[in-house]
Structure 1
Amino acid sequence: MMSGGYTSIDNPKLSGSVPAVPDQGHVTVKFSESNLQTFPPSEAQGKISIAAGPPRDADDTFSKSGSGAGSGSGSDESQPSGWLRPFSIATYKPYFDIDTADVLDRIKDSLFPFRDSFNEKTASNPDLYGPFWICTTLIFVAASIGTFVTYIAHKLKNKEWEYDINLVTWSAGLFYGYVTIVPLGLYVILKYFSAPSGLVPLFCLYGYSLFVFIPALCLSVVPLEIFRWVVAGVAGFMSATFVALNLRAHIKSAGERWFLIVAGIFLLQLALSVALKLYLFTVTV
């Protein structure tokens, strides 16, 4: 029927109409407890502290320990293993992580060769930082002092002087080669005799044993041949004694031939000082 512009349908069962939903009773809906936390929390939980900290996505590379003890599994997985490990920089990083005070203390021990306590002090943390810079310094000192000595000798006799670049290459080959090849050879010999030894401690010992040649090279500027021989002999004796006495305790376990090995080490170190004297400070005009 029509009333006020609206149409009402009297019959509810006309076609096209939606039937009413029967009443199925009262349905109870239960909600589980929410996992959302209230903010701010009412009390501290676990190890959460009130102090402010960096966001979770912040880069904390420089706040981690250099030794890698506190790093996660991700950093360990990125490091190569097996036969690729010796070619990784991370393998040698612990041997360059050393304080300046420790380097100075080890240099001081090398100048007092009769203490024979160097290996005991460096057994737990041998380094390659000191040996590398000692050899590098020796290369430039030997080349510069040798050049200066020849320059003075030529000027005193009013002769023309030319710079010899071979002093740098010869010094680099001598010191880097000596501090690498000799410890490697000694390591193989000690392994053959079943004597306890480590390769890195040998590198460390031989590297610091060369420090005494730095002041010796500086003193060789004095233009007196006998004085230069005395300086070379004293430096060689101190360096050879330092190496031999510190290795004696380890080499004694090699059997009856330990004395021959120690004597060979001593004489080889003396030969280094003689080579420095003959090549660098034998001036011919």
Structure 2
Amino acid sequence: MMSGGNYTSIDNQKLSGSVPAVPDPGQVTVKFSDSNLQTFPPSDTRGKISGVSGPPSDVDDTFSKPASGSSDEAQSSGWFRAFTVAAYKPYFDVDTSDVLERIKDSLFPFRDTFTEKTSDNPDLYGPFWICSTLIFVAASIGTFVTYISHKVNNKDWNYDINLVPWSAGLFYGYVTIVPLCLYIILKYFSAPSGLVQLFCLYGYSLFVFIPALCLSVVPLEIFRWVIAGVAGFMSATFVALNLRAHIKSAGERWFLIVAAIFLLQLALAVALKIYLFTVTV
């Protein structure tokens, strides 16, 4: 063994013997003390693990449940619900076949079975798109007819931008204000009525004016008057007959109410004829 400085070297030649073998202790078993930790996942866990919807039973649901007095709880009832999307969702949950069937019923006004068929599930989807289509058709057909008339007479033509807002105000306003006023009147006479059902009835009653507007392209004034009159009569009859059975419970004045509904619908047809069906050059 030599040492020099801070290092020590060992002469390998002076080392003899062998390293003793360490005996194999065999399989070593490690034991852990019993723990009271909960097994994960718990046996009653719910969710994607067990295939049942819902959070685990031991999860803190402080954020999933609205606190008492919160806005969510207040909106679930009362007037606050009218400002939520969930309040109007059931009235737009209809199939295409349902809408087509109701449109077909509006073209046969003497059946007077529309209110019975829609009493359980009145919709606002059909009335909204019928009014929107009427606005588009009224603006496009009216502009096209006016353009053709001016060109035939070799006169200058200018597009009337007021045609679109006027049509929108007429159709959306009529299908909203008239049923609302009728609902208040029927409530005053204690007659059974539903506001959404009235919206639905009046909305589908306007469908007949779509083909009438398309036929107004024929350049005959008498033909346009006939088309407007037939469309107005069908629409007025459809509304009046479907409301007659409900308004009869209002007493002796039920006939006056039905007659007013019929005449008001005819007045709409006259307004459409004067403003949309009449072409001035």
TM score, norm. by length of structure 2: 0.76
- In the alignment, the residues of structure 2 paired with residue 271 and residue 121 of structure 1 have an alpha-carbon distance, to the nearest angstrom, of 27
Match of 1:198 among 186, 194, 197: 194
Over residues 139-197 of structure 1, what are the superposed CA-to-partner deviations in whole Å (9 max), with x where a residue is unaligned? 01011111111111100000000000111011001000100110011011101111000
- In the alignment, the residues of structure 2 paired with residue 208 and residue 109 of structure 1 have an alpha-carbon distance, to the nearest angstrom, of 9
1:128 matched residue in structure 2: 124
- Relative to structure 1, the CA distance from residue 73 to residue 145 in structure 2 (aligned partners, 3 Å threshold; closer, same or farther) is same
- Relative to structure 1, the CA distance from residue 54 to residue 117 in structure 2 (aligned partners, 3 Å threshold; closer, same or farther) is closer
Residue 98 of structure 2 aligns to which amino acid in structure 1? D
1:94 equivalenced with 2:93 (yes/no): no
1:231 matched residue in structure 2: 227
Match of 2:72 among 70, 78, 82: 78
Superposed displacement of residue 83, structure 1: 2.7
1:168 matched residue in structure 2: 164
Q: What SS class does the counterpart of residue 283 from structure 1 fall into?
A: coil
- In the alignment, the residues of structure 2 paired with residue 248 and residue 33 of structure 1 have an alpha-carbon distance, to the nearest angstrom, of 77
2:276 matched residue in structure 1: 280
- In the alignment, the residues of structure 2 paired with residue 133 and residue 261 of structure 1 have an alpha-carbon distance, to the nearest angstrom, of 28
Over residues 251-285 of structure 1, what are the superposed CA-to-partner deviations in whole Å (9 max), with x where a residue is unaligned? 00000110111011001101111110101122111
Match of 1:263 among 254, 259, 262: 259
- In the alignment, the residues of structure 1 paired with residue 192 and residue 84 of structure 2 have an alpha-carbon distance, to the nearest angstrom, of 26
Over residues 121-153 of structure 1, what are the superposed CA-to-partner deviations in whole Å (9 max), with x where a residue is unaligned? 111111101000100100010111111111111
Superposed displacement of residue 52, structure 1: 6.6
- In the alignment, the residues of structure 1 paired with residue 137 and residue 118 of structure 2 have an alpha-carbon distance, to the nearest angstrom, of 27
Unaligned runs of 5+ in 2: 1-32, 57-63
- In the alignment, the residues of structure 2 paired with residue 121 and residue 153 of structure 1 have an alpha-carbon distance, to the nearest angstrom, of 44
Residue 156 of structure 1 aligns to which amino acid in structure 2? V
1:212 equivalenced with 2:202 (yes/no): no
Superposed displacement of residue 49, structure 1: 11
Q: What SS class does the counterpart of residue 278 from structure 2 fall into?
A: coil
1:28 matched residue in structure 2: none
Superposed displacement of residue 84, structure 1: 1.7
Residue 253 of structure 1 aligns to which amino acid in structure 2? S
Superposed displacement of residue 54, structure 1: 9.0
- Relative to structure 1, the CA distance from residue 85 to residue 267 in structure 2 (aligned partners, 3 Å threshold; closer, same or farther) is same
- In the alignment, the residues of structure 2 paired with residue 203 and residue 170 of structure 1 have an alpha-carbon distance, to the nearest angstrom, of 20
Alignment root-mean-square deviation, CA: 3.0
Match of 2:238 among 235, 242, 255: 242
- In the alignment, the residues of structure 2 paired with residue 244 and residue 270 of structure 1 have an alpha-carbon distance, to the nearest angstrom, of 11
Percent identity between the two aligned chains: 76
Over residues 210-229 of structure 1, what are the superposed CA-to-partner deviations in whole Å (9 max), with x where a residue is unaligned? 00000000001000011101
1:185 matched residue in structure 2: 181
Runs of 4+ in 1 over 4 A off after TM superposition: 31-39, 45-57
Over residues 43-66 of structure 1, what are the superposed CA-to-partner deviations in whole Å (9 max), with x where a residue is unaligned? xx9999998789969xxxxxxxxx
- Equivalent positions of 1:32-111 (< 5 A) are 78=72, 80=75, 81-111=77-107
2:47/2:53 contact within 8 Å kept: no
Residue 236 of structure 1 aligns to which amino acid in structure 2? G
- Relative to structure 1, the CA distance from residue 51 to residue 33 in structure 2 (aligned partners, 3 Å threshold; closer, same or farther) is closer
2:46/2:54 contact within 8 Å kept: no
Q: What SS class does the counterpart of residue 279 from structure 2 fall into?
A: coil
